Structure 1
Amino acid sequence: MTQWYYADASGQRQGPFSAAELEGHVRHARLDANTLVWREGLQDWQPLGSLASELDLPLDTLASPAPDTALPGADLPYAPPAADLASFQPVASGHLVHAGLWKRFAASFIDSIVTTIISYALMIPLMLIGVGVMGAGGSDNPFATGAGIASMLAIYPILFLAPCIYFGWMQSSSLQASLGKLAVGIKVARIDGQRMSFWRGFLRSLAYLVFTMVTCGLGVLISGLMVALTERKQALHDMLCDTLVVDKWAFTAFPERQRDELGVVTIVILVLAGLAIVGSIAIYAVMGAMLMKDLS
């Protein structure tokens, strides 16, 4: 059976599909005449409209290809050899925009809010269960006390597992990005542009958390300096896990859509993060002054 592939809006190759499945995509308006498709035997990608008769697609369901549609060439998704039909091959040529410190900081600000919400959503029920079990069993019941303490101790692994699972899942998905990275238009990829696995993403996040913990928080500053100063803007956990943080259009058929500038969304997030930091400092300063006043 002939296997077909098509290039989606972001320039990534999708497939394989049978001719019937491709027809289904057309009928559901997911593909049009200008969509680039490829099968074994074609030298290059071709507009779907030019292959309508071969696929037995009703011409009235396809818009006519635009006369200025670009011909397939070096800037289009790689047409794989037959031995590599089932695996995605990123476009590795062209200019590569690495995500800088400020974009990564803005993404981290959003992701810290997300992971905090997830962590507390898991921890609060465990705390309530622990307190409830100890209260129901009484102080003289060692089993109730032990079960309650165990429930409350389970909170600590959540602080590590919740963000690691979140980042591992999101960044190994087809999006290749957490919610924060999606917001600022960046993604995580292997050095060769491939999508990383869940466990690589999990260990990448764990390495960052452990590094931050053993350095008493200095790991955040060290990682930031490494991103700012290294050639490929890699933090230590990037180097350990063989990953890059790049523009969302990197390693696609449209590298010209990459942007070096921060963008409006990133600037807005940075302003909000700055206000949050200043507000936190002000609150701690007021609380410290009140405490000193009470002690004096």
Structure 2
Amino acid sequence: MTAWYYSDAMNRRQGPVDTATLAGLQRQGGVDEATLVWRDGLAEWQPLRTLLSEILATPAFAPDTTATAPDTASQVHDYASAAAIPVSSPASPYTPPASPLAEQDDFQSGGEVVYAGFWKRFAALAIDSFVIGIAYYGMVIAMMIVLGLGAGMMEGSAAAGGMFALVAMVYLIYPLLSALYYVGFESSSRQATLGKMAVGIKVTDASGRRLSRGQALGRWFSHLLSYFTLYIGYLMAGFTDRKRGLHDMVAGTLVVDRWAYTASPQQQRRELGAVTIVVMVLALLAILAYAAIVLAIAIPAYHSYVQRAAGV
């Protein structure tokens, strides 16, 4: 016997009832065509109108000739914007979210989730650091020009005050830009910074939903823990469950594929992707170039020191 569940006027789950009972409720006005129903075998809750032919085709009830199946795009849209049914204890793995889908963008619970690994996150961080760095140095250079011109017309304590203001802004602008950048992008509808968009990942809360401004700000502050642990907090994303860094654990966030928790989870990708590979190669070349510059400076300096020590 098929067991059906349905929502009442207060969006509370009712049931289970058999098919004949549900058909009787429909005839008596206890449920209408917009009522969300679910049975074992359905991937998600659906409006009653889409299942009338199945429910009313019972020995006790003839099909209702006034009921029609949805034949317009507007009816499908109505279902997409219908409120999901809150439940106190899930009866199946298909239990829907507890808040209206319209308030959660395209959020969909359930399904496989591909978590963003260390290298994708590294590539995203490299891109984001480059973007913030360009903006930062552009602002610093502009301020140095402005304050330099102003200091030329100042004397004594006024000039010293201008230099102090410049130094203070040099140290304060970067964290301010970083906070505005990460909080603004990660709490947006894209849930991702420019770097994360480029590699196809996004940030969610522990349930897969979009971060609020406060949650995004808390996640930004929690990055300090990864700095204090000499970047070990970032390396944790390579071997922890759900690929979380220390800051993710503290802030209660996840970094997942851009298609996770959507209506198209099958589009998630586990491979690194072209952007990630290109950024990794460029980062490796930058590290090698930096090492070559350091060695080019350090080796002559070391030889000079040895010669002075030997009294040559």
TM-score, normalising length: structure 2: 0.65
Q: Structure 2 CA distance, aligned partners of 1:242 and 1:144?
A: 47
Unpaired runs of 5+ residues, structure 1, are 1-39, 56-70
Which residue matches 1:229? Answer: 239
Kept in 2, the 8 Å contact 1:110–1:180? The answer is yes
Kept in 2, the 8 Å contact 1:96–1:255? The answer is yes
Q: Tell me, what secondary structure is at the counterpart of 1:137?
A: coil
Counterpart selection for 2:253 from 243, 256, 259: 243
Which residue matches 2:262? Answer: 252
* Paired residues for 1:1-296 under 5 Å: 41=34, 43=36, 44=46, 50-51=71-72, 79-81=82-84, 84=100, 87-88=103-104, 90-138=107-155, 140=156, 142-208=157-223, 210-215=224-229, 218=230, 220=231, 222-295=232-305, 296=307
Name the CA shift for 1:78/1:256 in 2 (closer, same or farther; >3 Å).
Answer: farther
Q: Structure 2 CA distance, aligned partners of 1:77 and 1:257?
A: 20
Name the CA shift for 1:81/1:258 in 2 (closer, same or farther; >3 Å).
Answer: closer
Q: Tell me, what secondary structure is at the counterpart of 2:243?
A: coil
Q: What is the Cα deviation at residue 131 of structure 1?
A: 2.9
Q: Structure 2 CA distance, aligned partners of 1:291 and 1:211?
A: 36
Name the CA shift for 1:96/1:121 in 2 (closer, same or farther; >3 Å).
Answer: same
Unpaired runs of 5+ residues, structure 2, are 1-32, 37-45, 51-69, 86-98, 308-312
Q: Structure 1 CA distance, aligned partners of 2:196 and 2:80?
A: 24
Per-residue displacement from partner, 1:144-186 (whole Å, max 9, x unpaired)? 3213311331111112111121111111111111111111110
Q: Tell me, what secondary structure is at the counterpart of 1:112?
A: helix
Q: What is the Cα deviation at residue 77 of structure 1?
A: 6.2
Q: Indicate the structure whose relative CO is greater, using CA pairs within 8 Å and at least 6 residues apart.
A: 1
Q: Structure 2 CA distance, aligned partners of 1:81 and 1:237?
A: 32
Kept in 1, the 8 Å contact 2:80–2:101? The answer is no
Q: What is the Cα deviation at residue 190 of structure 1?
A: 0.7
Q: Tell me, what secondary structure is at the counterpart of 2:271?
A: coil
Q: What is the Cα deviation at residue 204 of structure 1?
A: 1.6
Instruction: Give the aligned residue type for 1:163.
Output: S
Kept in 2, the 8 Å contact 1:129–1:151? The answer is no
Aligned pairs, number? 230
Name the CA shift for 1:185/1:277 in 2 (closer, same or farther; >3 Å).
Answer: same
Q: Structure 1 CA distance, aligned partners of 2:72 and 2:167?
A: 63
TM-score, normalising length: structure 1: 0.69
Q: What is the Cα deviation at residue 231 of structure 1?
A: 0.6
RMSD: 3.0
Q: Structure 2 CA distance, aligned partners of 1:201 and 1:231?
A: 21
